[in-house]
């Protein structure tokens, strides 16, 4: 048993905090959120030099082989600094290619992603505000010389800057949608790819809607060997679990920062002759923020370990869902208490708290909301699924 971060993990986290504070202070975050492209190109190149863009990839394709725990140390700082989010989706897309791609596909696609020469994102499963786990709403039709892709998604995060889009699509007319899921890598510039930028609550994710209007791709665009295509359900599971731990970690960094800011404020601001943090009405809010954040930290550390360790005592689907559900409620509580303790200044445009509030809700709603993860926890704990209610 060892419940500490390794020296390497501690030093990566320290480096990430210094780097984000220096290279992307709050003014820069605000500019990036307001811009069309999000994360500034020089920052992106520096992150590539640090090896973060290929954090989870094998060294053979230029990756850092950091493992989920070390990667989670970077992501916590990413959330703390409110970094415009393309980084997360880039790493997730690369992970999909690593898990699903054949050796030649990995050799061709991954080194440019690790070097940051090309940005990628992952078009998963959002449509009309609804979410389901299946590849949903993208369809692939097998053709003599490749595939024809159709369908649309309302909001794909990171799409504004992506050159490569990893698309999960339902192939043919399978009985079981998950089993029939195939993964494709589609260049943004392909004929029939229609991207429409969206204005969003939080400006950093740079979501756009994506329509595939009969996009022709060669057979090699489908991830996996030609005679042995990737198991779509397994790929989706791994990428979803990684996404859930990463988003929980981003929330952890943000929630911990808001707690710090609130405690600082409660020590400095005085009312009725003493700092407001001396009153239990405020003090107990701060304690609850600490409590929620530390509980989330315990869970995130464990979930990252479960994803890394082949001999872990729990299923990755359970651990990641627990981390995500807890992150959603933790960040929500921290934002509510933090805003209340700050007073009216915290609801103004100039204050930093609303930036965290927008981030928190965007993370909470991404890839399914709280109820989705609560149901996943129950399913993974052996509870039966309720029958679908019909009107």
Which residues sit at the interface with another protein, rule CB under 8 A? 1-6, 69, 263, 266-267, 273-275, 277-280, 283-284, 286-288, 290-291, 294-295, 298-299, 301-302, 304-305, 308-309, 311-313, 322, 325-326, 329, 370-371, 373-375, 377-378, 381-387, 389
Q: Provide, rounded to whole angstroms, the least separation between the CB of residue 291 and another protein.
A: 6
Q: For residues 138 and 151, what is the distance between their CA atoms, to the nearest angstrom?
A: 4
Single out the residue of 179, 184, 175 nearest to residue 140, CA to CA: 184
Q: Provide, rounded to whole angstroms, the least separation between the CB of residue 278 and another protein.
A: 5
CB closer to another protein out of 183 and 305: 305
CB closer to another protein out of 121 and 262: 262
| Residue 320 near residue 301 (C-beta atoms within 8 A) | no
How distant is the alpha carbon of residue 96 from its chain centre? 13
CB closer to another protein out of 164 and 326: 326
What's the CA dihedral at 21, 26, 31, 34 to 10 degrees? 120
Q: Provide, rounded to whole angstroms, the least separation between the CB of residue 305 and another protein.
A: 4
* DSSP-derived 3-state class of residue 181: strand
Q: Provide, rounded to whole angstroms, the least separation between the CB of residue 283 and another protein.
A: 4
CB closer to another protein out of 2 and 349: 2
CB closer to another protein out of 16 and 210: 16
CB closer to another protein out of 42 and 382: 382
| Residue 78 near residue 17 (C-beta atoms within 8 A) | no
Q: Provide, rounded to whole angstroms, the least separation between the CB of residue 259 and another protein.
A: 8
Q: For residues 258 and 331, what is the distance between their CA atoms, to the nearest angstrom?
A: 9
| Upper half-sphere CA count for residue 343 (Cβ side, 13 Å) | 8
Q: Provide, rounded to whole angstroms, the least separation between the CB of residue 140 and another protein.
A: 34
* DSSP-derived 3-state class of residue 241: helix
Question: For residue 346, what is the DSSP state?
Answer: G
């Amino acid at each position: 048993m060892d419940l500490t971060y390794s020296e390497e993990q501690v030093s990566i986290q320290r480096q990430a905090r210094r780097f984000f504070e220096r290279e992307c202070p709050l003014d820069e975050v605000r500019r990036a959120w307001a811009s069309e492209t999000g994360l500034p190109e020089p920052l992106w190149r520096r992150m590539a030099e640090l090896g973060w863009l290929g954090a989870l990839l094998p060294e053979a394709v230029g990756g850092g082989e950091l493992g989920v725990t070390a990667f989670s140390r970077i992501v916590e700082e990413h959330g703390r600094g409110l970094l415009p989010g393309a980084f997360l989706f880039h790493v997730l897309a690369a992970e999909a290619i690593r898990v699903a791609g054949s050796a030649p596909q990995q050799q061709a696609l991954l080194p440019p992603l690790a070097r940051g020469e090309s940005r990628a994102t992952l078009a998963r499963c959002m449509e009309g505000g609804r979410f389901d786990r299946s590849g949903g709403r993208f369809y692939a039709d097998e053709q003599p010389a490749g595939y024809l892709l159709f369908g649309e998604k309302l909001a794909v995060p990171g799409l504004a800057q992506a050159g490569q889009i990893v698309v999960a699509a339902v192939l043919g007319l399978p009985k079981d949608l998950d089993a029939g899921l195939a993964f494709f890598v589609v260049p943004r510039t392909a004929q029939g790819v229609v991207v429409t930028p969206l204005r969003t609550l939080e400006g950093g994710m740079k979501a756009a809607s994506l329509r595939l209007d009969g996009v022709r791709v060669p057979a090699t665009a489908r991830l996996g060997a030609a005679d042995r295509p990737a198991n779509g359900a397994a790929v989706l599971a791994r990428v979803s679990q990684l996404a859930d731990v990463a988003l929980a970690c981003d929330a952890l960094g943000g929630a911990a920062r808001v707690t710090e800011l609130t405690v600082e404020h409660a020590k400095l601001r005085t009312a009725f002759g003493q700092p407001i943090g001396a009153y239990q009405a405020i003090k107990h809010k701060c304690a609850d923020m600490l409590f929620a954040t530390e509980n989330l930290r315990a869970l995130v550390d464990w979930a990252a370990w479960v994803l890394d360790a082949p001999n872990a005592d729990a299923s990755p689907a359970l651990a990641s869902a627990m981390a995500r559900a807890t992150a959603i409620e933790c960040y929500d509580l921290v934002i509510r208490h933090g805003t209340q303790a700050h007073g009216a200044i915290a609801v103004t445009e100039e204050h930093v708290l609303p930036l965290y509030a927008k981030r928190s809700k965007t993370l909470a709603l991404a890839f399914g909301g709280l109820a989705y993860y609560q149901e996943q926890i129950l399913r993974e704990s052996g509870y039966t699924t309720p029958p679908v209610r019909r009107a």
